[in-house]
Amino acid sequence: MADLSKYRNIGIFAHVDAGKTTTTERILKLTGQIHKTGEVHDGESTTDFMEQEAERGITIQSAAVSCFWKDHRFNVIDTPGHVDFTVEVYRSLKVLDGGIGVFCGSGGVEPQSETNWRYANESEVARVIFVNKLDRMGADFYRVTEQVRKVLGANPLIMTLPIGIEDEFCGVVDVLTKKAYIWDETGLPENYTIEDVPADMVDKTEEYYEMLVETALEQDDELLEAYMEGEAPSLEDIKRCIRKGTRDLAFFPTYCGSAFKNKGMQLVLDAVVDYLPSPTEVDPQPLMDEEGNENGQFAIVSTDEPFKALAFKIMDDRFGALTFVRIYSGKLNKGDTILNAFTGKTERVGRMVEMQADDRNELTSAQAGDIIAIVGMKNVQTGHTLCDPKHPVTLEPMVFPTPVISIAVQPKDKGGNEKMGVAIGKMVAEDPSFQVETDEDSGETILKGMGELHLDIKVDILKRTYGVDLIVGQPQVAYRETITREIEDSYTHKKQSGGSGQFGKIDYRIKPGEVASGFTFKSSVVGGNVPKEFWPAVEKGFKSMMSEGVLAGFPVLDVEVELFDGGFHAVDSSAIAFEIAAKGAFRQSIPKAGAQLLEPIMKVDVFTPEDHVGDVIGDLNRRRGMMKDQEAGLTGVRIKADVPLSEMFGYIGSLRTMTSGRGQFSMEFSHYAPCPQNVAETVIAAEKEKKAAK
């Protein structure tokens, strides 16, 4: 039986290029899992094993690896930093107990670090901070920690201080023990000496030691009181307080170093052991009832409980379908039969493996706290609960963002349709933010995703991994429709054609709902003019029409319907008659209620060198952007704006041209907003033309 207090399930997350994958490589090297370190820029890192990842030097899917440090078992997940793959970060955080937030020493807190930090806050994941790349030009540890305070609203607890900066960075001072760790120039992680603090840093170390101890002891009133009265706390007491504060998210132990140059990594690994929680120390996952609400019970992390686990990722590789599972309670043995609480079907566990990124080690059993992969599960999808058939339970499911961009694709050769269908089916199972549908009128296959890069990579995977060459159409924006004013209306459905007829009369109000409320229905009928048993049919009729608006056939958002009167016939009225009446009412009334087209607005974050700020802002204004914020940093300026998605296609090319290749940007969906009249007219005309052509 493994000791759960020696488990650490951690994720590594940050902005693109802050050095997450390199940090993971160093962890694997230090823990003896790999003997030759692979570099991202050579396309040889262990966790970036997809062709597309090696080529582009970015992480696309989260990879899981297991390793040991000081007799503690680490399950590490290296997550992507790119905004188009946020879903990978989100679902990884869901099953982790702790994390390492990596920040670039010169770039500081960048757009995607904010998004990932927000996700980690929502998931209440304890973290340590690692300020990386301190050997780079423009690196400044103290500026980055200040940004963590200001931009993220987090409290960094500074545990190490850098010795030298940029080219002269050679080691770190451990504030807690007041010792200096100095590495030599061989670049080997084990070649370091522990010395006294350099003379010019003694005062600074004392100052930070005082701050560290005071902040830590706030977690224990008695110790703080004794400290105020001049009694020095023991190292064990301080560590215990840091551990408690880290777990309660009161502060985040902050380390510095250079993963690429192998400096400072050991202290980060020690921090994972010392300060991040084990599976038993994290608040247990809530269980859900059939309606999807919390039922007051929890998945207690213990091997004595019945088996409960969450499938958080599906991956298809050369060995077949892999289902990544985080086990919360109980044990799982090879050959066990488990229940999928979502589908109600049972499956037998044939093979279980422990993942080493692209390699795997066969397992015969696993237990609470483990992150493993099960081979060959049939109908399991991301977010499904797997449990003991005798004790069915449901864990809190995952919520995924809806795609905002789509492209039409078709195979280059006629015989490719079936091949494409099978491949896309596998890819949709792997990535819940990637969706596919068939346009009924044209028969085209429509791929939907989170951004241009997201879809670009999907098309690339189809071509290389599955051998399907595609003809790709222009990117399309996911518009929506809504209404702008309240109206009262009445609709009667009657049909008489021999035998029993159909009759349903409804009087109703339709008005704009709250933003992001979707569709809401209520009935205030009194006196039985529309009998209660027909109300659900009226609601169903209206709701079924929300998927296609009257302007250009886009889904309708934020509508509130109130049924306040009507009429029925003792013989001819039925649920179906009232449902048909509601559908007719929708078609009749939405045009009268000021139908309006909505477009997706993106939160855009642009980084540009100072001398190009004017050009970038001018260009964003031309793209109908609303400026939100502008922030000068050491190496350039960050501009935040809200810009319609339809204006952002191909933006990276324009930005590179404007900034001589030095600009960067990221964007994520923010909200839907009304389209200007001229844009709406163009979109509606184009949709009508499309339909006419079909």
Q: Is 636 annotated as a binding residue?
A: no
Dihedral over Cα of 427, 433, 437, 442: its sign: negative
Q: What does the block give as tokens for 530?
A: 């529309």
Phi then psi for 98, rounded to 5 degrees? Answer: -155, 175
Architecture of the 285-387 domain? Beta Barrel (2.40)
Q: What is the pLDDT of residue 137?
A: 80
Q: Is 413 annotated as a binding residue?
A: no
Q: Is 80 annotated as a binding residue?
A: yes
CATH of 405-478, one of 3.40.50.300, 3.30.70.870, 3.40.718.10, 3.30.70.270: 3.30.70.870
Residue 643 reports pLDDT greater than 80? yes
Q: Is 21 annotated as a binding residue?
A: yes
Q: Is 133 annotated as a binding residue?
A: yes
Q: Is 19 annotated as a binding residue?
A: yes
CATH topology of domain 599-679: Alpha-Beta Plaits (3.30.70)
Q: Is 566 annotated as a binding residue?
A: no
CATH node for 4-281:
3.40.50.300
Query: What is the rounded radius of gyration, in angstroms, for the C-alpha atoms of the chain?
Result: 29
Angle at 147 between CA 146 and CA 153, to 5 degrees: 95
Region of poorest pLDDT, from 178-192, 283-297, 570-584 = 283-297
Mean pLDDT of the chain: 81
Domain ranges of the chain: 4-281, 285-387, 405-478, 485-593, 599-679
Q: Is 135 annotated as a binding residue?
A: yes
> Of the candidates 585, 579, 555, which has an alpha carbon nearest to the alpha carbon of residue 478?
555
* pLDDT tens digits for range 397-446: 777 767 777 888 888 877 778 888 888 887 887 777 788 888 765 667 88
* 633 compared with 310, residue with greater pLDDT: 310
Q: Is 353 annotated as a binding residue?
A: no
Confidence of residue 78 (pLDDT cuts 50, 70, 90): low
DSSP-derived pairing of the beta strands 252-256 and 156-158: parallel
Residue 51 reports pLDDT greater than 70? no
Maximum mean pLDDT: which of 185-194, 368-377, 552-561: 552-561
Q: Is 11 annotated as a binding residue?
A: no
Asked if the domains 405-478 and 599-679 are classified in one and the same CATH topology, the answer is yes
Q: Is 134 annotated as a binding residue?
A: yes
Q: Is 259 annotated as a binding residue?
A: no
Q: Is 161 annotated as a binding residue?
A: no
Q: What is the pLDDT of residue 314?
A: 75
Phi then psi for 250, rounded to 5 degrees? Answer: -75, -30
Q: Is 18 annotated as a binding residue?
A: yes
> Of the candidates 417, 478, 405, 479, which has an alpha carbon nearest to the alpha carbon of residue 443?
417
Q: Is 661 annotated as a binding residue?
A: no
Confidence of residue 21 (pLDDT cuts 50, 70, 90): low
Residue 41 reports pLDDT greater than 70? no
The contacts of residue 454 (CB under 8 Å, 6+ apart) are 84, 85, 405, 433, 434
**Cα–Cα distances in angstroms (integers) from residue 11 to residues 14, 133, 604, 656, in the given order:** 10, 19, 26, 32
Q: What is the pLDDT of residue 316?
A: 67
Residue 382 reports pLDDT greater than 80? no
Maximum mean pLDDT: which of 305-319, 482-496, 648-662: 482-496
CATH of 485-593, one of 3.30.230.10, 3.20.20.140, 3.40.190.10, 3.40.50.720: 3.30.230.10
Taking residues 493-519, report their average pLDDT.
Answer: 85
Q: What is the pLDDT of residue 623?
A: 93
* 12 compared with 581, residue with greater pLDDT: 581
